[in-house]
Amino acid sequence: MRKLIFCLALLAASPLSAQQDPDRAVGGGSLPAGWHARPDRADASLANVRFVPMGSGYHVTLGPAVILWRPEDAGTGEYSARATFTQTRAPTHPEAYGLFVGGKNLEGEADYLYFLIRGDGKYLVKHRASDGDLHTVVNWTEHAAVRKQDAEGKATNALTVEGGDFGVRFLVNGERVAEISRRDVPYLNTDGIVGLRVNHNLDLHVAEFALERR
């Protein structure tokens, strides 16, 4: 009986936890010219995605978790993708942001590899397959190169992804944190669209977003 009561309590608590941090209503819905957005959840509204030019970069205020991209930002062969992210305030829970590469069919059954960091100084590498499966390439790992958020929730980190025949390298603030060989991860593919991935309820400034083909 005690076990049954405990299980029921867990089931009841799970929806409550989700309700405590719902997607914020931030307004928005329009995107800079040439940009596209896709929310993680099919039922999420882009009306709560605010993505606007600011200075020489962009400012992202969310609502739902999204990927953001321009179709012309396609990397093939040897290339590097980079951006500098400034988290402007602390989220309710640790939320991640970063770059994705190898994007295909992003409006449909999307496939891409993504490299994220978060305010507690950790990074992650995952692959989203076109069948919806998520493959963890590198689980959440702490690294000294990732600057942690300060007491006000602010942190600035420059991320770089280098793709090529060798596989893919991931750098934070100029320091390599991981390198993945195609031999070790057979499904690894870096050819495709490069863009941004930002989790829900984050407020970020994105500067120096660039794709350099070699």
* Total H helices, total E strands in the chain: 1, 14
Burial 94-126 (b: 16+ CB within 10 A, else e): ebbbbbbbbbeebeeebbbbbbbbbbebbbbbb
Whether residue 8 is predicted with pLDDT greater than 80 in this model: the reply is no
Residue 172 in this model has a pLDDT that exceeds 50 = yes
Burial 36-62 (b: 16+ CB within 10 A, else e): ebbbeeeebebebbbbeeeeebbbbbb
Say whether pLDDT at 175 is over 90: yes
Return the residue matching tokens 């350099």: 212
Question: What are the pLDDT digits (tens) for 42-56?
Answer: 889 899 999 999 999
CA distances from 150 to 132, 177, 209 (A): 35, 21, 24
Residue length, the chain?
A: 214
- CA triplet 123, 162, 212: central angle to 5 degrees? 125
Write out the H or E segment, with its range, that includes residue 3.
Answer: helix 2-20
Identify residue 38 by its one-letter amino acid code.
Answer: R
1 band by pLDDT with thresholds 50, 70 and 90: very low
- Given this model, what pLDDT does residue 96 score? 97
Residue-level pLDDT at 182: 87
Q: How confident is the model at residue 183 (pLDDT cuts 50, 70, 90)?
A: confident
Lowest model confidence (mean pLDDT) among 38-47, 157-166, 191-200: 38-47
pLDDT at residue 13 in the model? 43
| Mean pLDDT confidence for 169-180 | 97
Tokens of 52: 């606007």
* Mean of pLDDT values over 7-35: 67
The pLDDT, as a whole number, for residue 10 is: 40
Q: Tell me: the pLDDT tens digits for 86-128?
A: 999 999 888 999 999 999 999 999 999 999 999 999 999 999 9
- Tell me what pLDDT residue 146 has: 98
* Predicted TM-score (pTM) of this structure: 0.89
**Tokens at 1, concatenated:** 């009986």
Task: Estimate to the nearest angstrom the gap between the alpha carbon of 146 and the chain centroid.
Answer: 15
Model pLDDT, residue 113:
97
C-alpha span between 102 and 194 (Å, rounded): 6
